[in-house]
A and B are shown apart, each in its own frame.
Chain A
Amino acid sequence: MSDNSAKSSAPKATRPRPLSPHLQVYRLPLAAITSITHRATGIALTGGAVVLVAWLYAAANDAAYFKWWQSALMSPVGLVCMAGWSLALFYHLCAGIRHLLWDAGVGLKKETVNTTNLLVIACALLLTGMAWFFALPKLPFTF
Chain B
Amino acid sequence: MAHSTKVMYRQTVDYEEHQNPFLVHSRTYSQQYSQIYYCRLAALRQVVEDSARNKWTGNVLFIDRLLHLQQGNNCVIVGVIYKEMDLKPSILKEYSKNPAEPVPILPVKPCFISDSDVVILEDETGRIRLNFDHCDLSAGTLLTGTVVAVKGQETSSGDFSVDDICFPGIPSLKIPYSLDNDIFILFVSGVGLGAPWNVSMREALFLDFVSGKLGNEEDYEFCCQVGHLFVLGNLLSCAGQETLAMKSQEQPTVSGPQQLLNAEPLISADRFLTTLSSTIPVTLLPGEADPTNLLLPQQPLHHSLLPSSSKYNSLRRVTNPYQCCLNGRKILACSGQNVDDACRYSTFDWNSVEDRLTVMENMLSLRHLCPTAPDTLPCYPYYEEDPFVLKECPHIYVVGNQPAYGTRLINSNGVGVRLVCVPDFSTTGQVVLLNLRTLTPQIMEFMIDLN
Q: Are A and B genuine complex partners?
A: no
B residues whose Cβ falls under 8 Å from a Cβ of A = none
A residues whose Cβ falls under 8 Å from a Cβ of B = none
